[in-house]
């Protein structure tokens, strides 16, 4: 699987470096979804995210000759997108992680009974409440969850994109999911 992807990446990169017609457009189309997910989850503002996505691909075009095929092209481009979004947040002095802790009781031992999955999915209010809880997560945790669930990236792949250690990513995913599960507990309970 990796070999197939590697040869596809190689072919695409060679075509772009040789300025073959349509090659760069193909590269953008193949990777724009990943960049959009990373950047939008980091910065939240769609207008800023669109602009940063464009900056990402301009940077990719400028630096593609430096790509050494040491990781998948997807990870390399994702890393460029992540770095650009990170600089944008740093420039605006927006913290990407929650340094002060969650400030919530751990729901580890507080599991309410009788949760009906299908009813909860159909319940508009629960759905909205969960989306709000996701939006309230720090930028890094939102992005990690999106890469893990929506992009179906593995932890090592996420590590290549973000430059974080596998253990750090695991810890962020664990705490985010625990916090979001807490948001689903009955609102009258301790962990709500």
Partner 1 sequence: MIQHIDDHIPSFDDATHEREWLAQERAMQRERLQLDPAGDDARSRRYRLLARTLREPLPDALPADFARQVAARVAAAPTRQVTPGGRFESALLLALGGALVLAAGIVTVIYGRTWLQPFGELLPAFPASTLGWLLALGGCLAASWLLGHWQPAPRTTATPS
| For partner 1, the closer CB: 93 or 114 | 114
Region 26-85 residues binding partner 1, contact defined as CB under 8 A: 26, 28-29, 32, 36-37, 40-41, 46, 49-50, 53-54, 57-58, 61-62, 64-72
Q: Please tell me whether residue 10 binds partner 1 under the rule CB under 8 A.
A: yes
CB of 103 to partner 1, least distance (A): 19
Region 120-139 residues binding partner 1, contact defined as CB under 8 A: 120-121, 126-127, 130-131, 134
CB of 152 to partner 1, least distance (A): 8
| For partner 1, the closer CB: 80 or 173 | 173
CA distance 155 to 129: 27
CA distance 152 to 134: 17
Backbone φ, ψ for residue 109 (5° rounding)? -100, 10
# residues contacting partner 1 (CB under 8 A): 75
Diameter of the chain measured on Cα atoms: 63
Stretch that binds partner 1, among 85-93, 95-103, 159-167 (CB under 8 A): 159-167
Q: Please tell me whether residue 159 binds partner 1 under the rule CB under 8 A.
A: yes
| For partner 1, the closer CB: 10 or 87 | 10
Other C-beta atoms lying within 10 Å of the C-beta of residue 167: 10
CA distance 41 to 146: 8
| For partner 1, the closer CB: 87 or 127 | 127
CA distance 186 to 192: 6
CA angle 173–95–149, rounded 5-degree value: 25
CA distance 91 to 125: 36
């Amino acid at each position: 699987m990796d070999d197939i992807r590697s040869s596809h990446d190689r072919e695409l990169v060679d075509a772009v470096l040789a300025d073959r017609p349509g090659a760069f457009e193909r590269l953008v189309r193949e990777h724009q979804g990943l960049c959009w997910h990373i950047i939008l989850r980091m910065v939240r503002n769609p207008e800023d995210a669109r602009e940063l996505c464009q900056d990402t691909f301009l940077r990719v075009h400028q630096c593609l000759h430096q790509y050494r095929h040491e990781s998948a092209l997807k990870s390399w481009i994702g890393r460029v997108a992540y770095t650009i979004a990170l600089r944008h947040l740093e420039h605006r002095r927006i913290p990407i992680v929650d340094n002060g802790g969650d400030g919530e009781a751990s729901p580890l031992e507080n599991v309410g009974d009788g949760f009906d999955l299908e009813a909860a999915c159909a319940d508009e209010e629960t759905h909205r409440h969960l989306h709000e809880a996701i939006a309230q997560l720090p930028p890094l945790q939102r992005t990690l969850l999106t890469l893990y669930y929506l992009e179906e990236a593995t932890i090592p792949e996420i590590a290549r994109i973000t430059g974080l250690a596998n253990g750090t990513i695991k810890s962020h995913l664990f705490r985010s999911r625990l916090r979001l599960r807490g948001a689903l507990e009955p609102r009258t309970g301790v962990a709500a």
